Chains A and B, each alone.
Chain A
Amino acid sequence: MKNAPNPRIGVVVCSCGGQIAEKVNVEVLAEKAAELEGVVKVSRVDNLCRQDLSRIKQDFQGCDRLLFAGCSERSSLTFTEDRIGALLSEMGLNKAMFEVANLREQCVWIHDGDLTGKALDMLRMAHAKLKSNLPTPDPVKIMPKSIVIGGGPAGMQAAVDLAAAGTDVVLVEKRAYLGGHFCQIPYLLQCEGWPAMCVSDCVAPVQARKVAFSPRVKILTNAEVADIARENGNFRVTITRQARFVDPERCVSCGKCAEVCPVEMQNEYEYGWTKRKAIDKEYRLAIPDTYTLDSGACTRCGECLNVCPTGAIDLDAQPEIVEDTFGTVILATGFKTLNLNTLEELNYASPNVLSSMEMERLIAARLNRPGGGEVERITFMLCGGSRSAGKEIPKGMPYCSKTCCSIAVKQANRAAALKPHAEIAMIYFGDVRTYGRAFEQFYNDAKDYVEFINGEVVRVEDADAGLKLHLVTPDGETEELETDLLVLAEALLPQGNRLIEKLKLKTDRYSYPLEVQPRILRPTESFIDRVYIAGAVTGPKMVQESIEQGSAAALRALQHGAKGEKELLKFVSEVDPERCSHCRICETVCPHGAIRMTGEGAAVDQAFCQGCGLCASACPSHAIRLRNFSNAQILDQVAVAFSEVNGDEPKILGLLCYWCSYASADLMGVNGLKIPQQNFRSVRIRCSSSVNAGLLLEIFKMGVDGIIIAGCPPKNCHHGSGNYMTAKRVMLLNTVMRQLGLSAGRLKWEYIGVPMWRDLAKAIEEMDRTLRKLGPNPFGRSL
């Protein structure tokens, strides 16, 4: 990386109220700092974070970058990298132009004795990197406009909240009306407090009207996202919209068209239990308040045209393709239900076996079955295709769909209210999981009128009157039970898989899109920048929970929507197309979907780059580099890292991932753990996979005797699979080393999470012991 012409470096040496000065001769440190290339000003302070900040701003005018020798920029409770960035901005400097020598957490707090030597090395390392830092590129303009995909509760809420805060929204809904499953569920559980319900006939239109009345929301119903691609920091979206045969601006929903329409068809809203006409409104309260025409069923007889009082119908209407560009995407495509026909034993083909969603509509119809039929004995079966592992019928999904127990209890409650004399049973698999105080109360109350049976239904037969169920109890006994109606609380699955794939969202094994790490702090944020996931697509949810997530997603999207720009990280990938060999390995490894192949080679869309460096370290052509984290910068640090280490001492380098392992090293100090290995140096790397085996060898060539490379623990990599990649790289390199008679003990991979500082200390101690036995690295020159 090219050095900036004549960097003007300011160095702040903080004694941290004497804590650093106790073991480090800060005067010597300041003197030596002044001798370093490009240093124009050195200040010594005692209390940088609390009292000396304003002084810094004055003292360092004229500097273009600052080096702070003091506490950890990762773990300090008062002076972190964010705060330093803000300070630099106030000073008119670019936020990338600083480095920290972490003298407190990773030097004076972990060692005893005079540490001036180690502190000097750490200062030199920070300086070696800082002198070649480059400014963060300018922010990227993004469209201050959001697309919300899915008009269920989560999507509607996100759209309403974004619009209320001033962002333009396009809401795309596959069905003819807003609400999704929400408006098909007549009684909605309230999640907290006492056991209570809302009715969707009340709240669904309230929510949908808010969307419809918002001038900032453009609603596209009967529409689907055909394509979504990243382009110049934005999302370029192609939406296909079915022909609008009825103009919603003119239709007054009088229903005259449906009266004369000769074509009857199944009403999907009611799961086919009722009929609708080819031109009709599937659901009376549907919003947008308009009739729609099913193009496939319509015979174009023209009867409706004759009766429509407002001339709203146009049988020649054509489908539309809408193309637009958005800065943020909210994916709220909801759930789909497990295909119960896959559980043949449960006889779903029988009209007396219903899914949970079908039961919702039957409750809406006050338990009056369209074809007649007794509903005096109702049996619910929980875990219908959920928690399949260990079952007699191990089919369906192995996970718990979370909502079904509470929903089944609610349905039992409604059924009991509608038919007080009905016999209601509920067969549960091991346990009833009515989580939270409201749902558990529902369950306890239900014990008065529901017989709960522990067991698994293994076969369902048609009987003379209704059904005969065969059960296996936990003791292995078989039982039989007769019922009129069996309701299977079916497993839920994510919907929208095609889009999830197109967006390259990281998913779990069941195709649920995942939130990015640390997901506890970043709810609704996917692995792709500015793609937010909300509602049941992220996992089964109550309507209320989906709405909460919709709001959360809106707030996150708003941060970009309101500004119309995306601030880039100081670490962003940059491609040299001249070198690119089009092997597409970068694209394969990028966990954030920021890279795509073009005719000219790989192209990084920096507005999506999260600076993990996986691409740069995997690129065999070295066509990609990570800004402010180049191989040369790491080697520059290594070159000075061990200047003060006695020639006989093993030189141990820790390459510690940005998020977990570096923080863990800090916590050794924070927790007062002392390690004697003053010959240990650390470099805070991006993802553990931001360095490759070639660089590790270069580091060995420079004379480092042992390397510990550490990253996030399993299942917790912030960049998808970086930890596993590095574990594999190290395993291969260790194999090569062994084949060439070199001890693999010189290179260790460790999964080190933040609280695993004791393990890190142990790894350092072990490496030190190993290296003292092995002697100097035979491939290195002396440092």
Chain B
Amino acid sequence: MSRIRIILNWGASCGGCDVSILDVGRAILDLPESVEILYWPVALDFKRQDLENLPDGSVDVGIINGAVRTAEQEEEARIFRTKCKQIVAYGSCACFGGIPGLANQFTSEELLQRAYFEAPSNVNEEGTMPQPVSGQEGFSLTLPEFLPEVRSLEQVVPVDCYVPGCPPSNSTIMELLGALGSIAAGNAAKKVLASDKALCYDCPRGKTKEAKKAATLYRPHEIIAGSEHCLLEQGIVCLGFATRGGCGARCINVNMPCRGCYGWLPAMSDPGAEAMSAIASITGEWEDYLQPPKIMEVLEAVKDAVGIFYPFSLPSAIINRKRG
């Protein structure tokens, strides 16, 4: 049987996704038996030329992690698309824009201004700013262009399979490796390697729920969370009710609330708005003897609404970026 030909790449990402693949343990050793890796610049010694030399459509599966922030990332995503029969968006950044996507709260001008001039750690007396093309001693140097916004992979090229997670959990990765054959053949059972139901459905604390409102919302440092009861009912914003399951509730198991890295539920119209609606509906005191401003006080715990409700998904939201 011929091996599945795959290529891998990273975009705007932290590197954790690549590490997560290496982190599957001894399964990585068996990989070469079934898989032929033709490009993986993070882990192996490949150059851009190696990618370009691959005949179009000659690769079975291209796996890309990271969001698309620069012109180079966009270009490579397009090259992947022409080389590969199937494209897999790997990790929350590729799937939804991820944490780098939170940069969409600012215009690219604001970001560069902040990074090169305003950040307290900067010393930039000459006012140096990165340029797409700069000349030095007769040479012309180029840098990838900084695009106006962060996009998820599917906002740049069509994607065939989504593997969410920040990073994907070990079991999700094993599921991907097991499914590579069917993905390559274009007949994978699932388009998204995660549950269609919310994490609450598999949550080990599901049984502790009492269907009660939380009178107070706490920021994570304001409370020592009980290790048994539903975190949401303790007043901690846990997005498990609005996030696909499949991660194995790994955050809950270490007493941390779900932040939504497996992505929003399939029927939702916006990644964060419905979670926001639900949180607004089940927290706070709303007794009629209180005056409306008092009723709203519970929301003071929400210091960063975008960060809480769109931590991995802002580029995929309906309002997905600040416009200059």
Q: Do A and B come from one complex?
A: yes
- Among A694, A696, A727, A731, find the residue whose CB has the most chain B CB atoms closer than 10 A: A694
> What residues of A have a CB within 8 angstroms of the CB of B292 in the complex?
714, 724, 727, 751
Task: Point out the residues of chain A lying under 8 angstroms from B310, CB to CB.
Answer: 736
Which of the listed residues B211, B212, B272, B291 has the most CB atoms from chain A within 10 Å of its own CB? B211
In the complex, what distance in Å separates the CA atom of A424 from the CA atom of B295? Answer: 48
Kindly identify which residue among A508, A581, A714 contacts B241, using a CB–CB cutoff of 8 Å: A581
The residue on B at minimum CB distance from A693 is B273
The reply on B216 being an interface residue by CB < 8 A is no
Q: Mark A569-589, 1 if CB is under 8 A from B, else 0.
A: 000000000011111110111
With contacts A588-B213, A728-B299 taken as known, whether A694 is within 8 angstroms of B241 at the C-beta atoms is no
Would you call A620 an interface residue if the criterion is a C-beta within 8 Å of the partner chain's C-beta atoms?
yes
Given the contacts A736-B272, A751-B292, A692 and B277 also touching, CB distance less than 8 Å: yes
CB distance A700 to B267 under 8 Å?
Answer: no
Tell me if B295 and A724 are in contact (CB < 8 A): yes
Q: Is the CB of A740 within 8 A of B276?
A: no
A585 touches which one: B282, B284, B289, B304 (CB < 8 A)? Answer: B282
B276 partner residues in chain A, CB cutoff 8 A? 693, 729, 732-733, 736
Closest to A730 in B: B280
B318 at the interface (CB under 8 A from A): yes
Q: Count CB-based A-B contacts (< 8 Å).
A: 165
Please pick, from B275, B318, B322, the residue contacting A620 in the complex, using a CB distance under 8 A: B275
Q: Which of A579, A727, A742 contacts B319 (CB 8 A)?
A: A742
A620 engages B242 (CB within 8 Å): yes
In the complex the two chains form, is B273's CB within 8 Å of A694's CB? yes
- B289, A729: Cβ atoms closer than 8 Å: no
Size class of the contact patch on chain B: 35 or more
Q: For the complex formed, measure the closest distance between the CB of B312 and the CB atoms of chain A, giving whole angstroms.
A: 15
Question: Using an 8 Å CB-CB cutoff, how does the interface string of B31-49 with A read, 1 for contact, 0 for none?
Answer: 0000000000000000000
B83 at interface by CB-CB < 8 Å: no
- A173 to B269 CA separation, bound complex (whole angstroms): 52
A622 pairs with B267, CB closer than 8 A: yes
Contact-size category for A: 35 or more
User: Which single member of B197, B265, B305, B317 contacts A735 (CB below 8 Å)?
Assistant: B305
In the assembled complex, A617 has its CB within 8 A of some CB on chain B: yes
* Nearest-CB residue, chain B, relative to A691: B277
- By beta carbon, the residue of chain B nearest A715 is B288
A581-B200, A695-B269, A727-B295 known; A741-B323 Cβ under 8 A: yes
Which residues in B have their C-beta under 8 angstroms from that of A715?
A: 288
Q: Are B241 and A728 within 8 A (Cβ)? A: no
| A692 near B273: Cβ-Cβ < 8 Å | yes
Residues A737 and B299 in contact, CB atoms below 8 Å apart: no
**Given A735-B302, A778-B323, A728 contacting B270 (CB threshold 8 A):** no
Inside 8 A of B275's CB, which chain A residues have their CB?
620
What is the CA–CA distance of A176 and B212 in the complex, to the nearest angstrom?
37
Q: Are B201 and A582 in contact (CB under 8 A)?
A: yes
Q: Contacting A732 at CB < 8 Å: which of B105, B287, B305?
A: B305
- B230-251: CB near A (< 8 Å → 1, else 0) gives 0000000000111001000000
Contacts of A689 in B (CB 8 A): 281
25 pairs of residues in contact across A and B, judged by CB atoms under 8 Å: A509-B289, A580-B197, A581-B201, A583-B240, A588-B281, A618-B278, A620-B265, A620-B268, A620-B275, A621-B267, A622-B268, A694-B269, A697-B269, A697-B317, A725-B280, A725-B286, A728-B298, A729-B276, A733-B273, A736-B276, A736-B305, A740-B306, A742-B319, A751-B292, A779-B318
Name 8 extra pairs, CB < 8 A, besides A620-B265, A729-B276: A509-B287, A585-B282, A620-B275, A694-B268, A714-B292, A733-B276, A778-B323, A779-B319
